[in-house]
Amino acid sequence: MEETMLTIQEVAETLRVSDSTVRRWVVEGKIEGLKFGRQWRFKSTAISRWLEHGDTVDNSELKEPRKRFSLRGRFKGDEAIPKEAIDKVIREWNTTE
């Protein structure tokens, strides 16, 4: 089954908070996100887990920061990013958990 990815706006609407609050939570490590250039995407299952556990989840066991995946510099100007490239990054992200 393919993972559903959400935008910052969708996460903010679901949690009934502002976009900037979601961005702050990502920076603080409260919510896991995947950044494509300047756009964030979130796994729906990660958001569901966060809703169940909230801030009670202890992130202290994370020995190193999550790896950031970027497609920056791989494509020129307004060139569309191929779906295969995005899928590859998502697969890499899934293997780091």
Domain count across the chain: 1
Using a 10 angstrom Cβ sphere, with 0-12 exposed, 13-18 middle and 19 or more buried, the burial of residue 14 is middle
pLDDT digits (tens, 9 = 90+) for 41-97: 998 888 888 888 766 545 554 444 455 556 666 666 666 677 787 777 777 767 655
How high is the pLDDT of residue 19?
93
pLDDT digits (tens, 9 = 90+) for 18-45: 999 998 888 888 888 888 878 889 988 8
Which domain does 81 fall in, by range? 5-95
C-alpha closest to that of 28 among 68, 65, 69: 65
How high is the pLDDT of residue 63?
42
Please give the C-alpha separations between residue 17 and each of 25, 44, 62, in angstroms, as whole numbers: 11, 16, 26
Is residue 14 over pLDDT 60?
A: yes
pTM to 2 decimals?
Answer: 0.57
